[in-house]
Structure 1
Amino acid sequence: MTPLSIAFLPLTDSAPIVVAAELGFAEAEGLALTLVRDTSWATVRDRLVYGQVQAAHLLAPLAVAVTLGLSQTPCAIAAPFKLNDNGNALTLSAEFAAALDPDPRNRVDDPEATAHDFAAAIGLHHRKPIIGIVHRFSSHALMLRYWLGYAGVNPDRDVTLRVLPPSLMTEALRAGEIDGFIAGEPWSSVAVNEGLGEIAAAGATIWKRGVEKVLATRADWAQANPDALDRLVRALAKAASWCDDPANRDALATLLARAEFVGRPAPLIAQALAGRMPLQKGSEPVEIPDFMVFNRGAANFPWRSQALWIYSQFVRWGMVAASPDSERAAAGVFRSDLYRRALAGAGTPMPGASMKVEGALSEPLRAGSHSGSLTLAPDRFFDGKTFDPEAISVYLKSLETPISR
């Protein structure tokens, strides 16, 4: 057996890694996985960068940021497998949410109107709104910026974005230190269940197929250990498929509820897995289609175009200067070549291309595949824009960014 250590945070989207370790998928590939539970993304990042673990459950934008040297000395990261699409939500205090549409369902269903309501509420609040984010380079923070920017809000001027570990969001909301937060599950469900906040928006309604977490390794480790990496990707592919099967939801929620993993009640975890969530304490659950996706619709394929969308947002918000070298490095983080190599003989349907125009699909689309039948899921952005990875500068010019620098 090949021993591998993987760092993770106690979040519902760690599920494929937990399932691979606990239900025999890794063992079947000759791997003995040790899961290292952490509390902050900075710690997970450092464990990976400094070689304390061989792989990590990581925010997709953080993998790109580490490669570009935006949070420390550059370290090339390889992400050969996406663990999930979506799975996050924006939760606001009752006081702040009261300035939005009174029907919580309308807020989630109409992200355009809710963004404008949020913008209008800023001036009515007793202070500049403080919104918790799990990391500056998180999928959630970029989605929040994108959503606010649509309504003319400058997230670097009009609100305060405060970085907190996901597990501390609810206590910060309870103490009045923040006015809301955007984070992965189960933390929005916990906040609603405890009467601390109301869900006002979901990542799945901002970008129907928003890139979320990835399996990350150091690029030099991936190059030196191709066989072990291939076996890990195969184990995760089988685990992700198991996680996405509705028949396994209760068992998955029970597994994740264990103290060594997510450590929260199984019913709270299960509602996000099912995409049926109450938006206020005591309210009936509402359906949010594809709230969290582990496998279907090519969710595990590391599209280089999605890495470039992340890069485009870094450029948009002044986090990195645009350059051909940075663009090339960002695209190279998502390793579709390694995904294809690992699953070549497994009969896994996979796209024939490594990039696509993001946001162009409003309906499911049968796509060309090297094996089997592949249907790509709708991937629209809420504002109807599309992202062509071959025309990033044109895309950025189309965004009226209220940035003040």
Structure 2
Amino acid sequence: MKTFHCNRCAQLVFYENVRCERCESLLGFLPDLRELSAFDDAGDGRWRSLHPRANGALFRQCHNYAVENVCNWMIPADSPDTLCHACQLTRTIPNLAEPENRLYWYRLEVAKRRLLYTLTELGLEVRSRDADPEHGLAFEFLADSGDGARVMTGHDNGLITLNIAEADDAHREKVRTAMGEPYRTLLGHFRHETGHYFFSQLIENDPRWLEPFRALFGDERADYGEALNAYYRDGAPPDWQASTISAYATMHPWEDWAETWAHYLLIVDVLDTSTSYGLALLPDDPSEPTLTDRTPVEDASFGNLMKRWFPLTYALNSLNRSLGMPDGYPFTLAAPVVDKLRFVHRVIAAAGNKSAPDAAAASPAPLATEPDEDKKAVPKERSAPQREFNDDAS
């Protein structure tokens, strides 16, 4: 996530902000520009953008911004839409008769908008069901019923369902502890489930990718129900860290792909943020990891991303320990995992850049021009790798 500033007073502001804390200007996100803008009130529900790239254009607040206070995206003033693109993707919202559900809805929408920002930055198009009934994406935010029926978080042919209980921090932490997971976040769920969606969009029916996928992840034609039952009956193999990013990734090739996809988005997001803030690591001891490269992640090779990732996570975990917090990055990257991440990188690069050479991109083996640094594992003494996410019904 890049840094943003108020266009009126230059105050540092954040992606989720709706008002500048210094000058109190209304803030809103302009998805076409991928910029947060300050606005002047132009009357009649219209707002004039102060962002220099908007050239004084007029906008309206998304209905869920102006009325429901769960969004901060803007819509061109002459658009017939009442909901922004992000909110159009949500097909079912929580029952707002339950007081806590509005907070949960807000948290879910925040995580979803962060995901959409990253996907857009990577050049991945996200179409709604209204725009593309056959291949579009939709979200349903549902709650367990009073009769004991559970809502399972998962993906089904472009429809992603999330149990709103995941937006309850206490509940999510309880589940994380019970499942033995070092890491469980709302954003992680969104990343994982869109991994299933983009598998169907980018790989499933494309022979350029399908055979290389099977060489790395396994044959996705294996019976999913049997694999699910076996995983919850027997657990993950004891040596799962040697080949997968999480224990859950061992369950089925689809889950291995979705976990790896989610992890790649995590890496890109964190590197994008650190680069935008100008973060550098310049230790006095030359043997300590350094970080000075500020190549934009959308322009970086996979080897470049991995070379920067090791020192950044080393520092991140050290800072967290100083705060008395668990490691921010509790994972190790074995060589087969790095190969899988590289494959995700190539699939996304080809999808985001239609002119990318397919033959080179599809190869599961390392390119000769890529450095070996991308196979360097995060030190185990700074990690406690277990399972990244649990997803009962993907």
Output the TM-score relative to the length of structure 2: 0.26
Greater per-residue strand proportion: 1
Query: What is the TM-score with the length of structure 1 in the denominator?
Result: 0.26
